[in-house]
Structure 1
Amino acid sequence: MYKKMVHGRIAKTFAFTAARLPDGIHCDSKGNVYAGCGDGVHVWNRSGKLIGKIYTGIKCSQLFNSLAKDAWLSWGGQKLFYATLAASGAPLS
């Protein structure tokens, strides 16, 4: 994942995952970044350090906030995963 693009070039690599391409990237109110990856959901802190993995056993290609502010849903194949978080989703502006 890349922190930002400047003039069409990568300015800084934010984080790396060997578990294929991240998808459905979201942030919470504490600045943590969540992404569906090849083996589940990976979580990085605001500095890009991997702080957790939620293994689902299958690729989670869709990750999105649920109607509850402190939870997310992930779709992987024919399974739907739901998790409650200790932080709420980042506000959209």
Structure 2
Amino acid sequence: MFPIYGFGLSYGFDLAESIITNDIVRYLSYPIWVWLIEIIVGYPLLKFGIRIWNYSYLSKGKHWKGVISFVHFPAWVFLGILLEYIKEIMI
């Protein structure tokens, strides 16, 4: 699981920043990028009975097949903003 997020942190946020120049739109898009990775990796593994992460503990309508969690939307936005801030300080 950690290499997946590490890859996303290394390349995904830079890609989003280069594609989406409007800050607010980019911040709100970060959860969508995370969900895409979770679906691309998690859904095929689910077919083999492997769950890297499991959001099925959430009530119906708050997750999709246990693979992505809609509840974590604000957390992914916050993380994206925080990572952009840290990157700005480091450069």
Q: TM-score range by the shorter chain?
A: under 0.3
- Please say which structure displays the higher CA radius of gyration: 2
Higher RCO (CA < 8 A, seq sep 6+):
2
Q: Which has the higher helix share?
A: 2
User: TM-score normalised to the size of structure 1?
Assistant: 0.22
Q: Which has the higher strand share?
A: 1
